[in-house]
Structure 1
């Protein structure tokens, strides 16, 4: 319960993940584009999302959650009404041909732990490449890990590091607890260059903090990917 309270003041995001079959990725992207076009054609309101494609084949739709009341309504109901139920269901039947597994969860963007000196934002224009570090933790070490991430952020600030990051914390719908470090870059080469420069800048103090952080983890995973603006949707005001 303490974990839930501590993130309540941070922005929540509804994460929907489609585990797309390797042979169906082109088809999935075409259906996604047709879906976005239908939303634009019928001027769907109150349903904004961005899409990330990770190197493991997952397509992740990310929608900000304004409040818990948002879960009481179906944001796509107006689209089905305008399209007609038959066309609407046919569109989603095409989606279902592309994967056997998909699911939903909530994560929270943690402003206190994130390091973006120019202002906290998820919309990093010109930097669609992503590096994601998943820091899995058991409940007994959660508070310790949070404190250690804060120490690392403080060192970034003190040194004026050019590598910026956002920290997300898992919410309901996730069996395992984790902190997610999301780093934006122009491309893989830019990420590697900035990462190497940051490591050198932080020096031995940085290595020490990182080692202390990894001791607290239950396990660690990393993924790469990119944002796909062509598959996302922003409702017109």
Structure 2
């Protein structure tokens, strides 16, 4: 069976795969891993809430309540993004300049000073009922591996659909995995591919070492159309690179979802 050769279609077809710094969270929602100004090595704190399906409506209502409170009490130097995947996991991302930022005043503490402690902490006590699992880890943008040609260096407006892939590998295969992804990026550049993607590497707090590949589109159909076009463009050479990459993976995870601009808040 012929395999796809785009970074997302190839990963999709792979057959060999299958408490928290909470005070930093939920205070300004923009768009996960979407248009944010980042350096080549931008560090981001990621928080994940595994929301109970039965509590989704209440959870989102509380998020919107937080948004309204922030609008009435603007915060300083707080930017976050939110993404919901198909498994009802909510991911929140905060760009940070260093780990020391996490030792400073939290956004919740800042909001509590402005809006009142009892009001703010009551909101988050109610939110705690909506999930049993929370996780926190660091991601670092990797422009050496990301492919963002020309005007596609930022995600286009309206492209809120996402496919995310986690490529896990053992330390002994770290260099080999990176080499294959560099080769794939070079092929995309040489062929003039329009199928841009961003790659992030895991940092402190991740359960294992992985690279996160993110691809954006307007919807599932738009994603498939782009994938098909790149499959034809990259041809057998792209297929060979991806097959070599597959051989070096230890585990692979894929999930889809959407950005939530309806929850977006920008602070001062």
Q: How does the TM-score come out when normalised to structure 2?
A: 0.82
Query: How far off its partner does 1:97 sit?
Result: 1.1
Query: How far off its partner does 1:28 sit?
Result: 0.9
Query: How far off its partner does 1:75 sit?
Result: 2.7
Of the candidates 172, 178, 202, which is equivalent to residue 140 of structure 1?
Answer: 172
When structure 1 is superposed on structure 2, of 222-231 and 61-70 the one drifting more is 61-70
Alignment partners' CA distance in 2, 1:18 and 1:122: 26
Query: How far off its partner does 1:126 sit?
Result: 1.2
> Contact 2:166–2:212 at 8 Å: present in 1 too?
yes
Of the candidates 56, 59, 64, which is equivalent to residue 95 of structure 2?
Answer: 64
Query: How far off its partner does 1:50 sit?
Result: 0.9
In the alignment, what sits opposite 1:11?
Answer: 42
For structure 2, the 5+ residue unaligned runs are 1-38
Query: How far off its partner does 1:121 sit?
Result: 5.0
C-alpha distance after superposition, 1:112-169 (max 9, x if no partner)? 1111112575654210000111111111101110111010000011111111100000
- Note closer, same or farther for the CA distance 1:9–1:158 as it changes in structure 2 (3 Å cut): closer
- Note closer, same or farther for the CA distance 1:160–1:216 as it changes in structure 2 (3 Å cut): same
In the alignment, what sits opposite 1:3?
Answer: none
Counterpart secondary structure, 1:111: coil
> Contact 1:133–1:220 at 8 Å: present in 2 too?
yes
> Contact 1:16–1:104 at 8 Å: present in 2 too?
yes
Counterpart secondary structure, 2:47: strand
> Contact 2:45–2:94 at 8 Å: present in 1 too?
yes
> Contact 1:111–1:120 at 8 Å: present in 2 too?
no
In the alignment, what sits opposite 2:109?
Answer: 77
1:224 partnered with 2:256: yes
Alignment partners' CA distance in 1, 2:153 and 2:68: 26
Q: Report how many aligned residue pairs link the two structures.
A: 229
Alignment partners' CA distance in 2, 1:36 and 1:66: 24
Alignment partners' CA distance in 2, 1:161 and 1:9: 21
In the alignment, what sits opposite 2:234?
Answer: 202
Alignment partners' CA distance in 1, 2:50 and 2:218: 25
Query: How far off its partner does 1:27 sit?
Result: 1.1
CA RMSD of aligned residues (A): 1.5
C-alpha distance after superposition, 1:150-198 (max 9, x if no partner)? 1000001111111110000000100211111100000010001111111
Query: How far off its partner does 1:233 sit?
Result: 2.2
Query: How far off its partner does 1:47 sit?
Result: 1.4
Taking the TM superposition and a 5 Å limit, the aligned residue runs for 1:97-108 are 97-108=129-140
In the alignment, what sits opposite 2:224?
Answer: 192
Taking the TM superposition and a 5 Å limit, the aligned residue runs for 1:94-173 are 94-118=126-150, 121=153, 123-173=155-205
Which aligned runs of 4 or more in structure 1 are off by greater than 6 angstroms?
Answer: none
In the alignment, what sits opposite 1:52?
Answer: 83
- Note closer, same or farther for the CA distance 1:121–1:71 as it changes in structure 2 (3 Å cut): farther
For structure 1, the 5+ residue unaligned runs are 1-7
Counterpart secondary structure, 1:235: coil
